[in-house]
Amino acid sequence: MSNVIHLKTPLTDDDVVNLRIGDRVSISGVIYTARDAAHKRLAELIDDGKELPFDIRDQIIYYVGPSPARPGRSIGSCGPTTSYRMDVYTPKLLAKGLKATIGKGNRSETVIEALKQYKAVYFAATGGAAALLAMAVKKAEIVAYEDLGAEAIM
């Protein structure tokens, strides 16, 4: 089994270009969460030439809609959602500087090419580890689109 590569956000080009398929990675720092509805809104802002609600450059978006936090916890269960549902929006976000996404499942050829073009990476999260992943979250707060509930950007 390979060694774990430790990364901290914000990511750099060097962080990304030195990764290889199959590398095991541990990430610390801020990781944003967003799903379908939030991605649609972000893409619309980009299309309209408007500012995004957070600085996306060199950041990571985790495709998740967490469950409510239990007392004493920062976040509820937070397993990855299927990534291909965000594929229509991902190239626009990568063009704005997004450096990585985390989810489960395959990506489209369009997204794969955009990842290469913009020196970004897709991290495949382990399905079935939602409770374990939640224990690693130190703090969670809504950044944008509170009206989306679990799909708000955190």
Catalytic residues: 39
Q: Which two tokens stand for residue 50?
A: 């408007």
Q: How far is CA 96 from CA 8, 85, 90, in A?
A: 20, 19, 10
Q: How far is CA 91 from CA 10, 13, 51, 131, 138, in A?
A: 19, 17, 17, 30, 29
Q: ∠ CA(112), CA(144), CA(16), 5° rounding?
A: 30
User: Are residues 27 and 19 in contact, defined by beta-carbon separation less than 8 angstroms?
Assistant: no
